[in-house]
Each structure stands twice: as C-alpha cells, then as structure tokens.
Amino acid sequence: MRIAATLENRPAAMLALVFLAMLHGAVVLAGFLAPYPFAEQHRESPFAPPTRIHFFDAAGHFHPRPLVYGPEGSQTYPIELFVHGRLFGVQEPGVLFLLGSDGFGRDVFSRLLYGGQVSLLTGLAAAFLSLGLGWVLGTAAGFYGGWLDRLLMRSGELFLVLPWLYLLLAVRGFLPLHITALQAFLLLIVVIGAIGWVRPARLVRGVVLSGKERPFVLAAQGFGATDAYLMRRHILPLTAGVILTQATVLIPQYILAEVTLSFLGLGVGEPVPSWGNMLSEARQYYTLVSHPWMLTPGLAAIPVLLAYLVLADALLPDQRYRYP
Amino acid sequence: MKYLIRRLADSLLLLAALSVVSFVFAQLAPGDYFSELGTDPRFSTETVAALRAQAGLDRPLPVRYAKWVRSCIRGDLGYSLAYNSPVAPLLWQRIPATLLLTATATFLAWLLAVPIGIWNATVRGTWGDRVSQLIWAVLLTIPELVLAIVLLVLAAESGWFPAGGMRSAGFSAMDRWAQARDLAWHLALPAAVLVLGMLPVLVRHVRASMLDAIDSPFALSARAHGIPRGRLLFRHLLPAAMNPLVSLLGFSLGTLLSASLLVEVVMGWPGLGPLFLEAVAARDFALVLAVVMFSATFLVAANLAADLLLYRLDPRIRTE
C-alpha cells in the first residue's frame, strides 16, 4: 500500500508505468499489430528505407485514407485496416515498411515488435527467476543462520567475484550453441536468472535478519508459531519492498543482458528476432551509415530502460543502495 | 595488518574455489573443444576419441585439475587447444590493451565526475540541477553497445577518429612521440564510450554522497564559523563524502570490465574481450578459464585496494 501511495505522488513514475504497460501490451499483440510475420522476406526490396505515407497522391488529390506508393512507382495502395488478420497493412505487391526493411527485405517494425517479445520477456522471466531464487535462499540464510547462512553467502561470493558479462559469457559458452530458438530462449532465461540470485538474496537476508528480531515476530514465536507461519505471515511481507525495488533494477539489467548476448551471437538465433540479434546486423558500420533505421532495435531499448529507471528512482530515492 | 592478512587469505581461497567450480562446471557441461569435430563426417568417432585422449580430456577431473595447477605454477596457465600454445603468452599480449583502455576511462571518468557531482550537489533544487539530473538519467539508460555503434559510425563518417583498432599501419616505424599520439588517437573513441557509460553512475553517487555531507551538522557549524565555500567543499565535505565513493571505485571496475568487453568487440580493440569471446565460441576451456581467473583476480585486487585505501583515508574505520 505504501508503494501505491509512493507512485501516486509521482506523475513521472505513473507515466513510466503506463508506458511500460502499453509497450508490453503492444509486444504481446505483435501477431496482430505487426503488418508482417517476423520471417516474411521481400527479397525485391532489401534495405528499403521507411515507406513514405501519403495523404495526397501525385495528382494532388486528397485521400482521407493514407496510401503508399508501390515498388513500380506509380501504383498506389491504400493502407487498409484489418487485412490478413492483422490491424493494418497494404495489398500485395505494395509494401508497408514503417521503419524500413533489413537485408532480407524483412519489415523492421514488425521484427521490432516480435523481437520485443523475446527481449522483454527474457528480462521479466529472468528477473522473476532471480528474485525467486534470491528470496528463497536469502530467507533461508537469514532465518536459519548458522552453517546454511555461511554456505549460501560464501558460495554467493563466487558469483560476485566475476564481472557480470564475463560470468554470463563463460556460463553460456559451455552450454550447447546449436539449438532451436525456443531452447535458446529458455536457456537465456535460466542462465541470466540463475547467476543473478546473489544480490537479491543478500538484501533479503539483511531484511530477514533484522526482521526476525522485531518484537512482534518474537512475540509470535513466543506464542508457539511455526517457522512456516512466521515466514508467511511476518517475514514475507517485510521483504516485499526489497523484492519490488530489486525487480525495477534487475529487469532492465536483464533486458540488456539478453540484448548483449544475442548481439554477440550467443542468444536467440535467426530467423527469430530479438533486439540484440537485430542490432548485430547494424554492427558493420557501412550498413548503418547508409541504413540508419537498422539502429532502431538499440534505440527501442532506451525508453524501456528509462521507464524502469524512473520507477526505481520513485521506489528507492537513494540510488546508492542500488549500485552495482 | 592482521586485517590485511585475513583479507588476502580470504581472496586466495575464493579464487581457488572459483577455479575448482569452473572445472566442475566444465565437466558437467555437455560438449568440449572436440565436440564440433564429432559432428564432422570426415572425422571418425575413434579419431575424435584419440584427439581427446591426446589432449588429456579423458582423464578424471582431479588429475586434470592437478595438471592445471602445475601448469599455473610453471607460469603457463594451461594449454590452449584452439591456439595450440600455452595460455600465458596469449593473455599477456592482450592484457596491456585492456588495462590501458580501462585505466584511461576510469581516470577520466572520476576526473570529470567529482567536480560535476559536487557542483550538482551545491545547486540542489534549482533548474540547473533538475536539467542535469534529467541528462544523467537519459545518459544512464543509453546502453554502451548502442553508444559504441553510433560513435563508431560517426567516426567512420567524419574521418576524425579511426574506425576501430588500436594502432595505425606503420606503427612500429614511428618515433616515440608519434606512437603515443597515434595510440591516444585510437584510444579516444573506446575510452569515450566507457567514460560516457560510467559518468552518469558516478555523478549520481558523488551528488548523493555530497548531499549527505552538506546536510550534516558539522557542515553547518563549519559554515557558521565562516569557512570559505571552496575550502568547505573540498577540505571539509569531500573527505567526509569520500567513504562510499572509494568502495564504489572498487565495485565499478566489474561493470567497467564488462562494458570494456563489449566496446572492445564492437570497436576492434585488441584486448581481452575479443579473445574471450572467441575462446567461448570455440570452447577453448583453458583460455576461458584463464580469462575468468584473470578478471576475477583483477576484481578481487581492486576491491582489496579500495578497502585498504578506505582504511587509510577514513579514521572512523580505523578505530573499529
């Protein structure tokens, strides 16, 4: 409840929340909102620039329904709603590339939406996994203490002693490379999520350690409450705040991790798009010089990260407790 | 002193544990350097098995670990199957480039971050503060990857900076001065990416930490005593705000190394990053392990150094 109140007083945070909700909605509905399937190739128009949308045709007539010019130049195609089971599109052979096309003539806008499914979902799922692991292990370490605490915290140090990208690459590198896109996607979630449990676990442990000495917890214990009851009723609510703020920190980090891994060729492979593997096409600088729209998957990540940053700032004004 | 010895022992133990865990993990992981060959029809299963035996990969884990430890004591750090050579020379070739890049970036970033952060703290609540907060927030969210790609394109287009690499052709023929200039010219872009990536984080921390110091009672009393502003900020408040910043210096190196890996790969800087990526893709375990151990050692050493520095700088810690 405190959290809801925090957000209400912060218009920027509300805005960020709404933006994220809309973006996730758009990405989930990619199959409907995107004009083309992600793998559909238009070999006749590779690296096509963003399609110009006209309200006036060459003769100067106004069209209330916007139109685009076809590949042969003179023929016009109106943008139609609800075609081929999608929200909008144009009839063949006209093409509608809102953000241009890539080297295979695939629509970058459509791939951006579908790629968002991979990138954003990886961030969410991996953060969920990390927080779940961190919460369970952190609570166990803090609540039971003793050898379990020492074991968990010392083994946690092993994860912190490496720079995160080195750790990520080393772990990913020893897992199979030639796998289907779905397997790669699941593998990414597990790898990114599993190696990130230490920070949330340490924070949760701290909260639990101080929480179990609180008078009302001691009182409940004195009345003979079981460990399970104590954890569910008293300890879990105490840790909720930490978990939530950690989520706003971890999710963007993990989205970036997916983008980075896919960019380096260790993530989801072609033809399934993710923001990372789309960006790797823009890696040759001559590609980007003449086709600047190929950078859009990289730019798409920026507002997402900014929104999460605003949320994190609202939930935890002092950023010193967040870094690294 | 006792503290130092305990910390050193702890670090060594941690590194040893890391190497054991790496070996166990590589053992559990499916596939090794030769598994790519196994899919090639020109190599029979027996050949692959023979190659594997020759490389000693069929030996039990403890035997291989002991062999690796002996190799480390000799200074070889293991044997790279992909390069067919001991790992150490490969590593020594690349480490100076990475260290040069990260050290330059760290130095420049802190040089800029401290005055900017102090300024931001002193103008708290004004429009200047709000605008700069916004700028830092936006800059914080631009991934280093995107920054590196964009700067590389701009460099290639404008021709002001080289499009990647570390040295121009004919580097060895230049005299000392020209060599240094050439190196700095190549260093500018990758270092700029790292500095821009680090700066927002550092500035926000310096600002927050300075704000704490400014709000503290001793600052008020110092001001009431009429101590001039510049002296107050740099002689009284900065040392007090230093504590979390020094620990950050140690911590931020981990992030910096990761960012540096990406920048090196994108910009063709011949550091550890590209070597590591190749080793990972080729499953060259010895090389991967060596880079992992190096970066871990680097990080542990940096954190230890930061803690010792803290111990020197902050009398509050010494009395504990």
| Residue A300, token pair as written in the block | 């798409």
Task: For residue B172, give how far its alpha carbon lies from the nearest alpha carbon of chain A (Å).
Answer: 27
**Over residues A99-117, mean pLDDT:** 82
Chain A residues near residue B251 by CB distance under 8 angstroms: 323-324
Which residues have CB under 8 Å from A161's CB, separation 6+?
A: B14, B15, B18, B296, B299, B300
For B206, nearest residue in chain A (alpha carbons): A320
Q: What is the pLDDT of residue A321?
A: 46
Mutate to test the interface with A, among B189, B277, B280, B284 (most CBs of A within 10 A): B280
For A170, nearest residue in chain B (alpha carbons): B280
Q: What is the pLDDT of residue B108?
A: 92
For tokens 């990536």, the residue is B197
Which of A165, A279, A93, A46 lies closest to B197 in space, CA to CA?
A165
Whether residues B21 and A174 touch (CB distance < 8 A) is answered with no
Those of residues 248-267 in A touching chain B at CB distance below 8 A are: 252, 256, 259-260, 263-266
Domain B91-319: give its CATH code: 1.10.3720.10
Q: How confident is the model at residue A126 (pLDDT cuts 50, 70, 90)?
A: very high
Q: What is the pLDDT of residue A132?
A: 93
pLDDT digits (tens, 9 = 90+) for B170-202: 666 777 787 778 788 888 888 988 999 889 888
For B251, nearest residue in chain A (alpha carbons): A324
Q: What is the pLDDT of residue B169?
A: 67
Q: What is the pLDDT of residue A128?
A: 94
| Residue A290, token pair as written in the block | 């003449």
Give, as one character, the DSSP assignment of residue B236.
Answer: I
Whether residues B145 and A259 touch (CB distance < 8 A) is answered with yes
For B258, nearest residue in chain A (alpha carbons): A165
Whether residues B276 and A169 touch (CB distance < 8 A) is answered with yes
Instruction: Say how many CA atoms lie within 13 Å of A295 toward its Cβ.
Output: 22
% residues pLDDT > 90 (chain A): 6
Beta partners for residue A62, in sequence order: A56
When the pLDDT of each residue in chain B is averaged and rounded to a whole number, the result is: 82
Q: Is the pLDDT of residue A174 over 90?
A: no
Q: What is the pLDDT of residue A71?
A: 67
**Over residues B117-126, mean pLDDT:** 86
Classify strands A54-56 and A62-69 as parallel, antiparallel or unpaired.
Answer: antiparallel
Highest mean pLDDT among A91-95, A251-255, B230-234: A251-255
Please indicate whether residue B198 or residue B42 has the higher confidence score (pLDDT). B198
Chain B residues near residue A305 by CB distance under 8 angstroms: 141, 143
Task: For residue A166, give how far its alpha carbon lies from the nearest alpha carbon of chain B (Å).
Answer: 7
pLDDT digits (tens, 9 = 90+) for A286-309: 677 777 777 888 888 888 988 888
Those of residues 1-60 in A touching chain B at CB distance below 8 A are: none
- N-terminal to C-terminal alpha carbon distance within chain A: 28
Q: What is the pLDDT of residue B244?
A: 80
Q: Is A227 exposed, middle or buried (0-12, 13-18, 19+ CB in 10 A)?
A: exposed
Q: Is the pLDDT of residue B226 over 80?
A: yes
Task: For residue A305, give how far its alpha carbon lies from the nearest alpha carbon of chain B (Å).
Answer: 6
Helix, coil or strand: residue A223: coil
Highest mean pLDDT among A32-46, B157-171, B217-231: B217-231
A218 touches chain B (CB under 8 A): no
Q: What interface predicted TM-score (ipTM) does this complex get?
A: 0.82
pLDDT digits (tens, 9 = 90+) for B251-269: 788 888 888 888 888 888 8
Whether residues B26 and A264 touch (CB distance < 8 A) is answered with no
Task: Give the C-alpha separation, A52 to A59, whole Å.
Answer: 16
Please count the residue pairs, one from chain A and one from chain B, whose beta carbons lie less than 8 angstroms apart. 139
| Residue B123, token pair as written in the block | 């103008």
Please indicate whether residue B190 or residue B25 has the higher confidence score (pLDDT). B190
Q: Is the pLDDT of residue A188 over 90?
A: no
Chain A residues near residue B149 by CB distance under 8 angstroms: 279, 282-283, 285, 288, 295, 298
Whether residues B205 and A319 touch (CB distance < 8 A) is answered with yes
Whether residues A298 and B149 touch (CB distance < 8 A) is answered with yes
**Over residues B72-91, mean pLDDT:** 78
Give, as one character, the DSSP assignment of residue A266.
Answer: S
Chain A residues near residue B26 by CB distance under 8 angstroms: 174
Chain B residues near residue A13 by CB distance under 8 angstroms: none
pLDDT digits (tens, 9 = 90+) for A128-143: 999 999 999 998 898 8
**Over residues B5-23, mean pLDDT:** 86
| CB-closest option in B137, B248, B259 to A306 | B137
Rg (CA), chain A: 24
Q: What is the pLDDT of residue B39?
A: 66
For tokens 């096509």, the residue is A48
Whether residues A313 and B300 touch (CB distance < 8 A) is answered with no
Please indicate whether residue B163 or residue B201 has the higher confidence score (pLDDT). B201
Q: Is the pLDDT of residue A125 over 90?
A: yes
Q: What is the pLDDT of residue A322?
A: 46
For A154, nearest residue in chain B (alpha carbons): B14
Q: How confident is the model at residue A176 (pLDDT cuts 50, 70, 90)?
A: confident
Helix, coil or strand: residue A90: coil
Chain A residues near residue B21 by CB distance under 8 angstroms: 158
| CB-closest option in A162, A301, A319 to B143 | A301
| CB-closest option in A158, A161, A302 to B299 | A161
Domain ranges of chain B: 2-87, 91-319
pLDDT digits (tens, 9 = 90+) for A221-253: 888 888 888 888 888 888 888 888 888 888 998
Give, as one character, the DSSP assignment of residue A292.
Answer: G
Task: Give the C-alpha separation, B93 to A277, whole Å.
Answer: 30
| Residue B55, token pair as written in the block | 């490389």
Those of residues 172-201 in A touching chain B at CB distance below 8 A are: 172-177
Task: For residue A177, give how far its alpha carbon lies from the nearest alpha carbon of chain B (Å).
Answer: 8
